[in-house]
Amino acid sequence: MAVYFVILLAIIYWVIKQKQESAQDYFLAGRNLGWFVIGASIFASNIGSEHIVGLAGTAAKSGMVMGHYELHSWIILLLGWVFVPFYMRSSVFTMPEFLEKRYSSESRWILSIISLIGYILTKVSATVYAGAVVFQTLMGIEFWSGALAIVLLTGAYTILGGLRAVIYTDALQAIVLILGSLTISIIGLMKIGGWGNLVSTVGPEQFNMFLPADHPEFPWIGMVFAPPIIGIWYWCTDQYIVQRVLAAKNETQARRGTIFGGYLKLLPIFMFFIPGLIAYAMLKTGQLQYNSSDQAFPTLVKELLPAGMRGLVAGGLLAALMSSLSSVFNSCSTLFTIDIYQKLKPNTDQRKLVSVGRMATAVVVVSGILWIPFMKIISGELYTYLQSVQAYIAPPIAAVFLMGIFWKRINSQGALVALVAGFSAGMIRLILEINKTSISGIWYQIADLNFLYFAIFSFLSCTAVMIAVSLFTPEPDYQKLNGLTFGTTSSTDKEESASAHNRMDLINSAVILIILALILIYFSPIGIAS
């Protein structure tokens, strides 16, 4: 672990020494990244400590059902094949900036505010919480002391190094994370007596990703349709992820980065869910003890691994935490600086913008930490909390981006109404859920509605509202939408995008889709759960 941190610090030092005088240098790494670094960063940024702790925890309690949220390699491909051409042609820094070009400045403001609030409620708070659980369980460090230490370290290199520091440390951390997590899976299976013993101990039903339609928490209808809605928001429209492809050298490198990221995204099922089931099996047989499901993975590390191996996996856990935090720190600073501060003060010089971005990072971190006490009110499981809150935020954003790209008739009025109405409904639901024990009647019914069904209803409602408002208001100026929708893309742009990929890109994408299909079949009633 010590060697890992020496290498990490060396990378950070090298990055900080690089010239970063412009906003493009700081926020988008000079737009000069290759596919390997992009794909590794996409994966490492997504798989943070909240995933390691949360995915293993939910598997230990509820089995494989939440795996639907992790089988999103196809959505990463959607980012590369569908969204990337429009993003690269627009030459934007941020997703709100793209929304301004597609719709209006008002849409940009709304999305910026929604995104910052969303980061505070989900990514910052959940990641810090998960990191604190790791410190407490694995190292015996007091909850808040551990959280503060890792926040300060990660914040320091993110603030000083910008996106380049985030990207290159992500690449290193992805390698450590994969090795560490797969190691615990292999050793855990050996301890439990192999795959067959694991299945017989926990029961085949724990491997079923398609629970009955009347299941109170995870009905199969909700699990099939809601996760893709949240996934499109997260993978295709969220600054947190998309910022990596925006930093690519060109469209080819951006797309191949998403393909590589798609391959890596196939791993979490085996890296985190299987250890969670192993922990549950060992709990049932009296070989392991933990107080809550979120402690399942760190307890496995602590109890099963020898000292040297424990250090390696602990390094992976810390890498995941730092990767997620550094990514969200940089994304928040970019959003606030480019989409809010620069809009208010357009003549601000580049050095000043970088300084403002660093201060914004600190404010977001403090706000996220203050939200942590409210998390357990919504859900006792970290990963379920994360997905439920994202279900309240994601639908209107996913609808606005999807419809905006696929149908040129959608106008700024329709997008604005959908964003405001959808976000307001989500925040009302969040407030009602926090106060669920003190309300009744229709308000209680809204608060008690399954979050999966809420996401589906919200997406469909926002789409319908957006279409209706657009059709009853004037058409947008199609000349201003050149290259921003399928209907306004020139033949030259289409030819350039077509030349930005080759046969191997298509083959690799097809392979990913085939593997996904096989995984879904295996973890279903016609597979292992029969």
User: Could you read off the pLDDT of 271-287 as tens digits, one per residue?
Assistant: 888 889 999 999 888 88
- Taking residues 384-405, what's their average pLDDT? 92
The pLDDT value recorded for residue 20 is: 46
- Taking residues 234-245, what's their average pLDDT? 86
Instruction: Give the Å distances, CA to CA, from 95 to 103, 243, 246, 325, 397.
Output: 12, 8, 10, 19, 11
Q: Residue 299's closest CA among 139, 452, 461, 186?
A: 139
Domain ranges of the chain: 35-376
The pLDDT value recorded for residue 373 is: 78
Using alpha carbons only, how large is the chain's radius of gyration in Å? 22
The pLDDT value recorded for residue 520 is: 94
Q: Residue 163's closest CA among 256, 234, 76, 242?
A: 242
- Taking residues 519-523, what's their average pLDDT? 94
Tell me the per-residue pLDDT of 120-160, one tens digit each, with 9 for 90 and over. 888 778 777 777 776 677 666 665 565 566 666 665 555 55
pLDDT of residue 319 exceeding 60, the answer is yes
Homologous superfamily (CATH) for 35-376: Sodium/glucose cotransporter (1.20.1730.10)
In single-letter form, the type of residue at position 395 comes to P
Residue 343: band (very low, low, confident or very high) from pLDDT cuts 50, 70, 90: confident
Q: 3-7, 130-134, 226-230, 270-274: which has the minimum mean pLDDT? A: 3-7
- Taking residues 343-360, what's their average pLDDT? 76
**Mean pLDDT of the residues in the chain:** 82
Angle 320-34-227 from CA coordinates, rounded to 5°: 50
* Whole-angstrom distance, CA of residue 194 vs CA of residue 59: 18
The pLDDT value recorded for residue 171 is: 60
The pLDDT value recorded for residue 372 is: 79
Tell me the per-residue pLDDT of 24-40, one tens digit each, with 9 for 90 and over. 444 444 456 788 888 88
In single-letter form, the type of residue at position 488 comes to T
* Whole-angstrom distance, CA of residue 191 vs CA of residue 287: 10
Record the tokens describing residue 34, joined without a space: 């290759």
Q: Which residues contact 315 (CB under 8 A, 6 or more apart)?
A: 1, 4, 5, 176, 180
Q: How would you classify residue 194: left for phi > 0, otherwise alpha for psi between -120 and 50, otherwise beta?
A: left
Q: 131-145, 155-169, 257-271, 405-419: which has the minimum mean pLDDT? A: 155-169
Is residue 527 helix, strand or coil? coil
The pLDDT value recorded for residue 302 is: 80
The pLDDT value recorded for residue 315 is: 65
- Taking residues 484-491, what's their average pLDDT? 92
Give the helix, strand, coil percentages of the chain, each rounded to 5: 80, 0, 20
pLDDT greater at residue 4 or residue 373: 373
- Taking residues 246-256, what's their average pLDDT? 88
The pLDDT value recorded for residue 149 is: 63
DSSP string, 325-358: HHHHHHHHHHIIIIIIIHHH-TT--HHHHHHHHH
- Taking residues 457-486, what's their average pLDDT? 95
Segment of 9-23, 35-49, 367-381, 387-401 carrying the highest mean pLDDT: 387-401
Contact 292, 118 (CB under 8 A): no
The pLDDT value recorded for residue 258 is: 95
Tell me the per-residue pLDDT of 63-98, one tens digit each, with 9 for 90 and over. 899 889 889 999 999 999 999 999 988 888 778 889
Hunting for tokens 């339609």 — which residue is that? Answer: 213
In single-letter form, the type of residue at position 365 comes to V
The pLDDT value recorded for residue 23 is: 43
What percent of the chain is predicted at pLDDT more than 70?
Answer: 81
pLDDT greater at residue 171 or residue 515: 515
Q: Element (H or E) spanning 84, and its range?
A: helix 84-90
pLDDT greater at residue 168 or residue 453: 453
Contact 305, 296 (CB under 8 A): no
Count the Cβ atoms, other than its own, within 10 Å of residue 383: 28
Segment of 43-52, 79-88, 242-251 carrying the highest mean pLDDT: 79-88
The pLDDT value recorded for residue 88 is: 87
The pLDDT value recorded for residue 504 is: 95
The pLDDT value recorded for residue 470 is: 97
